[in-house]
Amino acid sequence: MRRPRPTLRIMGSVGNMLYAVSMSSSGNIAVGGEDRTVTVYDPRRWCATSRWLNCSKYEITGLCFSSVDPNYLYVQGVDYEIMCGQWRESEKAFSFRGDSNWLGFSKCSDRDILAGWCDWGSIFVADASEKNVDMHV
């Protein structure tokens, strides 16, 4: 039996670590990390199609493509903010905050409903599928 092997090793900026990865429904792969930059790769050509420089105030620890529109990406930083934006245009659409630093977040596979856990023990659920983000604690 043949062992699987990597097809490409993705490296962050020189000297910086990658902490988050996400794959869109269209096949694009987004990575982010210590350099606060999201890089989106096209796996058919294994090249970067877009770089969203300094999209987060702190290191990026979580990424999720939108289920509604894969041109949008949710970005979690080390702080208490989760931001959504258009990665091709490097443009922020909206953001929302927890009551303390995010320990992690996840998104439903078929809708833009996000849930996150904060440092103080609070769990937030946000419905980002509408224009106004509804938050529930």
Residue-level pLDDT at 87: 94
Q: What angle do CA 37, 112, 36 make, to 5 degrees?
A: 10
CB count within 10 Å of CB 94 equals: 13
Looking at residue 83, its pLDDT comes to 92
Could you report the per-residue pLDDT of 70-129, keeping only the tens digit for each? 999 999 998 888 999 999 999 999 988 889 988 888 999 889 999 999 999 999 998 887
Residue 66, pLDDT > 90, answer yes
Domains and CATH numbers, the chain: 18-136 (2.130.10.10)
Q: What is the average pLDDT score of the chain?
A: 86
Q: pLDDT: is 64 or 130 the higher one? A: 64
Backbone angles phi, psi at 71, to 5 degrees: -80, -5
pTM of the predicted structure, to 2 decimals: 0.84
